[in-house]
Structure 1
Amino acid sequence: MDWDKLRIFHAVASAGSLTHAGDTLHLSQSAVSRQIRALEESLSTTLFHRHARGLILTEQGELLFDAAQAMNKRLEAASARIRDSEEEVFGNLRVTTTIGFGSIWLAPRLSKLYDKYPDLSIDLMLEERVLDLPMREADVAIRMKEPSQADLVRKRLMDIRMQLFATPAYLEKTGTPKNVRDLPNHRLICQAAAATQVSAGAILVRELLSYEVGRTLTVNNYFGVLQGVLANLGIGVLPDYLSQDFPQLVRVLPNIESNEVPVFLAFPEELRGSKRIEAFRDFVVEEVVAYRKSRQASA
């Protein structure tokens, strides 16, 4: 198969338009169209359905795009490794983690990493879905469970628990609950038990909702739960790691918490020698050590 035609096909499939792909590739629309027709002829199939609003992949086109996408990600990884200098850290690093951990704990600390490595660019992908590292959907992940793939380098960073927090203003207005029997007088802010989240958090939410609760506000990530708590809307089910950065919050019902949730950093074995990965890993480990010391000092 002609690699140049495959590259053009990948650009067209990604853009959904001959014109946009041509702009990206610095080719005319007619030149791009000729290459796509030639590829279709060589494969004896139709790769795109054409309509007024653009192009849609056929079933055969989807198969070819999946293969081209995987190949492109492998090439990007190889290119990044080649560019990695033995002395310098630069280039783009794609980091995936959960919305809560990424927005509450990781993102506010990234300035220290940028101060040390100003030529490093971070693509921070926050979502609850577990991205496939071996398939190069991301370079490095911080996950709330141990990765299952065998071809990943992994490091356990810390353990967290889900606990209950509220603001002093909210507690002054509504009173501080002394036990779960006081929950009917309060609004519980949490993720829905069926929402995508760590299992320990879902179990705790189900346990709390088994009691009579006055009102609820459900949000599909911990960052949203935190904003509700900071707005004095109620008592939130939140990860304990936020207590360091939000010391104004008060822990409520301290005898209630989830089981431990392990936090792992992981990346593909093939990126073991990457200076960008090494720099990010060392930065996260240093921040975790500082976080642990701060918690111990305040305990």
Structure 2
Amino acid sequence: MSVFAFGSMERVSSDNPLPPTPTESLDMDWDKLRIFHAVADVGSLTHAGDVLHLSQSAVSRQIRALEESLNTTLFHRHARGLILTEQGELLFDATSAMARRLDTAEARIRDSEEEVFGELRVTTTIGFGSLWLAPRLSKLYEKFPELNIDLMLDERVLDLPMREADVAIRMKEPSQADLIRRRLMTVHMRLYATPEYLAKRGTPESLEDLKDHRLIYLNTQATQVSAGASLVRELLTYDVTSRLTVNNYFGVLQAMRSNLGIGVLPDYVVEDLKDIQRVLPDVESNEIPVFLAYPEELRQSRRIAAFRDFVTEEIIEQRKRLKAEALQKD
């Protein structure tokens, strides 16, 4: 059985009743650590047993044996489940780090030179993920049917070096260390409306005309790029009295397509939509760079390479199509 040296722990003597600290030494076998990690993760002996295909009593015995070997209590037990003690939290931090390292090792081992399969955790913003990326993923699945995407849409920047995700697409250059990054494209915030809305309410000819329209935009307090917030603040200086604020771009798009007003949206949201018209074409935000990033340790991952190449090809294809459509209009 594999044994991991977990720090440097010693048994507690009868003269010292305090539990061991993470800087002391004890060898623990991986089976007990694996079971502890599962219990800590789900907060239940029964649910952990289901995950591990073990009986509740077997899981309980292993946790009890681990606590005895450490001479400490790892869980507070109550009717609603298990809660980690302070010593339990320290051990869970360590097993979580081990699990991330094992995930990385597994990804590198399983990725061969010719095959792309397994799980790839992708994080990006709600707007980009739901409105640009998700509709295109069918092409990636067609090419790599054994690839499984875990798409995590969140305005919060996940920690790639800590393996909260494998790859990220973000609207600014990542600042985290030990990341490989590639600039994919640039985005602008612009004004859009439906032809039906403009036919009913009129098309604004200047920023001053916005006072006669309802403006739909991402709440300036929501997490977003500064260029978008700056444009909205500028627009609001023109006495816009009717407003609708939303906390994500999908909501802004849906409200705008329901003829509620003029929406402030990233250009990538509407480039594939034929029922949307740009308003005040001279008005737009500063450039917003879009970056793809992933940890240095996944440099050789075939899954990362497949996803990176897919996104790059989709952007190139979109540029070609938009250019061709512009030439046809001219």
Coarse TM-score class (shorter-chain normalised): over 0.9
Q: Quick one: distance in 2 between partners of 1:230 and 1:62?
A: 48
Rg bigger for which structure? 2
Match of 2:11 in 1: none
Q: Quick one: distance in 1 between partners of 2:67 and 2:198?
A: 67
CA contact (8 A) 1:154 1:267 kept: yes
CA contact (8 A) 1:187 1:217 kept: yes
Correspondence for 2:243 among 216, 222, 238: 216
Amino acid paired to 2:137: L
**SS state of the match for residue 297, structure 1?**
helix
Matched, 1:4 2:31: yes
Match of 2:123 in 1: 96
CA contact (8 A) 1:244 1:294 kept: no
Cα distance, 1:283 vs structure 2: 0.6
Cα distance, 1:218 vs structure 2: 1.1
Match of 2:178 in 1: 151
**SS state of the match for residue 283, structure 2?**
coil
Q: Quick one: distance in 1 between partners of 2:131 and 2:217?
A: 16
1:54-93 to structure 2, matched below 5 A, reads: 54-93=81-120
Q: Quick one: distance in 2 between partners of 1:274 and 1:280?
A: 10
Match of 1:122 in 2: 149
1:40-51 to structure 2, matched below 5 A, reads: 40-51=67-78
Match of 1:204 in 2: 231
Match of 2:14 in 1: none
Correspondence for 2:213 among 186, 189, 192: 186
Match of 1:250 in 2: 277
Match of 2:56 in 1: 29
Q: Which moved more, 1:176-185 or 1:139-148?
A: 176-185
**SS state of the match for residue 82, structure 1?**
helix
For structure 1, the residue ranges without an aligned partner over 5 or more in a row are none
Q: Quick one: distance in 2 between partners of 1:63 and 1:193?
A: 39
Q: Which has the higher contact order (CA 8 A, sep 6+)?
A: 1
Give identity over the alignment, percent.
76
Q: Quick one: distance in 2 between partners of 1:44 and 1:295?
A: 67
Cα distance, 1:255 vs structure 2: 1.7
Correspondence for 1:284 among 307, 311, 320: 311
C-alpha RMSD of matched pairs (Å): 1.3
Cα distance, 1:87 vs structure 2: 1.1
**SS state of the match for residue 195, structure 1?**
coil
Question: For residues 139-161 of structure 1, what are the alpha-carbon distances to aligned partners after superposition, in whole Å with 9 as ceiling and x for unaligned?
Answer: 11111111112311111000001
For structure 2, the residue ranges without an aligned partner over 5 or more in a row are 1-27
Runs of at least 4 residues of structure 1 off by over 6 A? none
Q: Quick one: distance in 2 between partners of 1:230 and 1:111?
A: 25
Amino acid paired to 2:30: W
**SS state of the match for residue 315, structure 2?**
helix
CA contact (8 A) 1:70 1:136 kept: no
**SS state of the match for residue 253, structure 1?**
strand
Correspondence for 2:300 among 273, 276, 296: 273
Q: Quick one: distance in 1 between partners of 2:89 and 2:229?
A: 36
Residues matched between the structures, number: 299
Q: Quick one: distance in 1 between partners of 2:239 and 2:92?
A: 52
Question: For residues 28-48 of structure 1, what are the alpha-carbon distances to aligned partners after superposition, in whole Å with 9 as ceiling and x for unaligned?
Answer: 112211222222233333222
Cα distance, 1:212 vs structure 2: 1.1
CA contact (8 A) 1:219 1:225 kept: yes
Amino acid paired to 1:176: T
Amino acid paired to 1:287: E
CA contact (8 A) 2:190 2:284 kept: yes
Matched, 1:170 2:170: no
Cα distance, 1:64 vs structure 2: 2.2
Q: TM-score, normalised by structure 1?
A: 0.96
